[in-house]
Amino acid sequence: MADRKNRWLKRIGISILILITIFVVFAAWFHFTTQIRPPKPDNITSISLTVENPATDFYKIGPNWLKKSSNGLWEMYIEGKPFERGVINGKLSKHLIAAQEKAFIDQIREMIPSDFYLRFLKYFIYWFNRDLDKYLTDEYKLEIYGISLSASDQYSFIGSNYQRILNYHSAHDIGHALQDFSLVGCSSLGVWGNKSKDSSLIIGRNFDFYMGDEFARNKIICFEKPDQGYGFMMVTWGGMIGTVSGMNEAGLTVTINAAKSEIPTSAKTPISILAREILQYASDISEAWAIAQKRETFVSESILIGSARDKQTAIIEKSPFKIALVLPPNNDMACANHFQSQEFSLDPLNIRNIKENASFYRFKRLQQDITENHPIDYLGMASILRDQQGLNGVNIGMGNEKAMNQLIAHHSIIFMPEKLLVWVSTTPWQVGPYVCYDLNKIFRNFAGLQHKVEITEPDKTIPPDSFLGSNDYERFLRFKEMRKILKYTIRTKKTDELPGSFLDDFRVTNPMYYEVFDLIGDYYSQKGQWQLAQAEYHHALSLVIPRWNEKEKIIKKLANCNVRIQN
């Protein structure tokens, strides 16, 4: 009997040992497979460079500098070879990289509060991005590696500094797989000829990639003079070398607009890196098209190209499987978050996107804005980018994804490529003033800046929107605060802790926006007050809802209320 028991315990011990061995081997294999090793620079002397701080919020290394302007935007100039540019960028903006990474991770935690799912997301992303470096040129890997040397060790539990900074360049693309979080919903347009007040090309865009207000707080207007290609400007943030909005010294502009994608299975070239390559190496639409054809991407994207040489815009529509070039039939072009080319006209995913999401509605409103406002100058372009109304000027609620101005923009930007002028929005969103930069002057007069001076064109500043400081603006800020409280209350099931007047006060903050009544319906549902919930869901369904899946969820919740009431 004792021998049988000992044999049984021995078998259990062997089984446990085998399982532990398998786990250890798997963990080691996973770690080895997903580790991305940094490139090896030829010259590392730049690592020893030191930062000078001659004035408040002004940092410099040789001819390179970073400063905070009087309008609150960070402005940076860097030059040199790839690794050197990256090292200098990292040293100058070290505090901004740390703040940006914290804002990004805090927002991820808010969207995904479960530690289990966060750990799963970490391992999923590392597996998903395991070959990411194979789709980047040596130039961009070296630049990213240089920046990563200044990244904070605080987040080393997520991964090495290099691998984290590298992975963040695919965040926009991975946001495609998380569209229910409304991370991406950008708009852009261009007008020229008879649609432009002085007949020259003018382009506008809202970059509505939302990762929280903190993420957008420290945006950087980067002016870069690489050792190869064109000098360029782009709106970016700490640690980011990819381009989402930018213009080069040849008068070529690049902006990216997400389109509906299948959930990808592995990473390829991030769209922002492709856009950066176009910005750095293309001078017209044909050169941009040639670069786009060379690169594999893992999500679908519309890339709006503006060209001073061509005096018009074009859209490169690129999916993981095919690519199309859309040329304008008239003197204007609008771009939202769906494809417009013949090549994608029968694509089932694109058809569903047009039917079910906010993109086509916003596209039609954009066309209305162009028709109603032309001929357009830079002031008129700002007015279009600030438009909060729905089709035919209908009030669809503040923050609605179907509007041009969703009150979430990381930045809004206006280009006049033939004059090398660019306007960038200040906070908040595109409601504050737009400040103007003249690229001719930046690269001629302000490269190698040794003293802190203003580099914008003050006589061309676009004044703030009248919405700023209005009662509606104050109500919207209150709406955001109360929405956060109500969502937390529902998630934590602490519905008895809200003040008695809270719901009535919440209703009046944004009375034409469906989400107000959807959330109040959820609150009543949690308390089992089905008739009150029913009324709120009915009201929500009477308003303009951006996406079909959001409408479908409310319909299902309403049906559940009806069943509960009948029983």
- CATH code, domain with 515: 1.25.40.10
DSSP secondary structure letter of residue 402: T
Q: Interhelix angle for 138-148 vs 161-168, to 10°?
A: 120
pLDDT in tens, 385-397: 999 999 999 999 9
Q: Are residues 426 and 510 in the same domain?
A: no
Model pLDDT, residue 181? 44
Q: Which amino acid is at 73?
A: L
Q: Is residue 9 part of a domain?
A: no
Whether residue 465 is contained in a domain is answered as no
The residue among 460, 483, 512 that closes a domain is 460
Spatial CB neighbours of 143, under 8 Å, sequence gap ≥ 6: 82, 83, 85, 86, 89, 241
Indicate if 456 and 522 belong to the same structural domain.
no
Please tell me whether residues 187 and 296 are part of one structural domain: yes
CA distances from 157 to 123, 165, 333 (A): 12, 14, 46
Residue 487 has pLDDT above 90, yes or no: yes
398, 404, 364: which is closest to 543 by C-alpha?
A: 398
Cβ contacts of 315 within 8 Å, gap of 6 or more: 302, 303, 304, 305, 325, 326, 333, 335, 340, 341
38: in domain = no
Q: Which residue has the higher pLDDT, 19 or 347?
A: 347
Taking residues 550-563, report their average pLDDT: 96
Structure tokens at 1: 């009997």
What pLDDT, on the 0 to 100 scale, is given for residue 26? 42
Q: Is the peptide bond before 428 cis (omega within 30 degrees of 0)?
A: yes
Which residue did the predictor score with more confidence, 490 or 214? 490
What's the chain's average pLDDT? 91
Mean pLDDT check: name the lowest of 14-18, 117-121, 154-158, 405-409.
Answer: 14-18
Q: Which of 412, 435, 460 is the last residue of a domain?
A: 460
Task: Indicate if 356 and 212 belong to the same structural domain.
Answer: yes
221: enclosing H helix or E strand: strand 220-226
Contacts of 120 by beta carbon, 8 Å cutoff, 6+ apart: none
Give me the pLDDT at residue 33, please. Answer: 53
Task: Based on the fold, state whether residues 450 and 516 are members of the same structural domain.
Answer: no
Statement to judge: residues 439 and 550 lie in one domain = no
For residue 501, tell me if it sits in a domain: yes
Mean pLDDT of 99-104: 90
When pLDDT is averaged across residues 91-115 and rounded to a whole number, the result is 86
CA-to-CA distance for 170 and 525, rounded, in angstroms? 38
Q: How far apart are CA 16 and CA 22, in angstroms?
A: 10
The share of the chain scoring above pLDDT 90, in percent, equals: 77
Task: Report the length, in residues, of the chain.
Answer: 567
Same-domain pairing of 394 and 508 = no
Enumerate the H helices of 386-470 as residue ranges. 439-441
260, pLDDT greater than 60: yes
Give the integer Cα–Cα distance in Å for 391 and 403: 9
What is the maximal distance between C-alpha atoms in the chain?
99
Kindly indicate the confidence band of residue 157, based on its pLDDT and cuts at 50, 70 and 90.
Answer: confident
pLDDT above 70 (res 274): yes
Tokens describing residue 489: 């209350």
Asked whether residue 19 is domain-assigned, the answer is: no
Last residue of a domain, one of 439, 460, 481: 460
Note whether residue 17 is domain-resident: no
Is the pLDDT confidence value at 24 over 50? Answer: no
Tokens describing residue 390: 């729905």
Non-local CB neighbours of 307 within 8 Å, separated by 6+ positions: 201, 251, 252, 253, 283, 284, 285, 288, 313, 314, 417
Helix (H) or strand (E) holding 269: none
The predicted pLDDT at position 22 comes to: 53
Q: What is the CATH number of the domain that holds 71?
A: 3.60.60.10
118-138 pLDDT per residue, tens: 676 777 777 777 888 999 999
Alpha-carbon 404 to chain mean position: 15
For residue 7, what pLDDT band results from cuts at 50, 70 and 90? low
The pLDDT value recorded for residue 29 is 43
Residues 324 and 298 placed together within one structural domain of the fold = yes
Share of the chain above pLDDT 70, in %: 91
Q: Which of 459, 504, 465 lies closest to 486 in space, CA to CA?
A: 504
- Going by the DSSP 8-state scheme, the letter that residue 342 receives in this structure is G
- Of the pLDDT bands very low, low, confident and very high (cuts 50, 70, 90), residue 17 is low
Spatial contact of 158 and 339, defined as CB atoms under 8 Å apart: no
Which tokens sit at 187? 């708009």
8 Å CB contact between 291 and 277: yes
pLDDT at 112 over 50: yes
Q: How confident is the model at residue 5 (pLDDT cuts 50, 70, 90)?
A: low
pLDDT surpasses 50 at 164: yes
**Domain range enclosing 550:** 471-566
CB–CB of 297/274 below 8 Å? yes
Residues 403 and 456 reside in one and the same domain? yes
The arrangement of strands across the sheet holding 220-226 comes to 52-55, 58-61, 64-68, 74-80, 220-226, 232-236, 245-248, 252-258, 301-307, 312-318, 323-326
How many domains does the chain contain in total? 2
Question: 528 and 384 share a domain?
Answer: no
Number of H helices, E strands in the chain: 19, 17
Confidence of residue 180 (pLDDT cuts 50, 70, 90): very low
d(CA 247, CA 251): 6
Let me know whether 176 and 247 are in one domain: yes
Looking at the fold, whether 115 and 70 belong to one and the same domain comes out as: yes
What are 219-229's pLDDT values in tens digits?
999 999 999 99
The pLDDT, as a whole number, for residue 500 is: 83
Residue 37 lies in a domain: no
Give the DSSP H/E element, type plus range, for residue 169: none
- 355 versus 29: the higher-pLDDT residue is 355
pLDDT score of 110 more than 90: no
pLDDT at 375 over 70: yes
User: What pLDDT is recorded for position 400?
Assistant: 97
Cβ atoms of residues 350 and 339 within 8 Å: yes
Question: Has residue 33 been placed in a domain?
Answer: no
- Higher local confidence (pLDDT), 169 or 439: 439
* Mean pLDDT along residues 364-385: 97
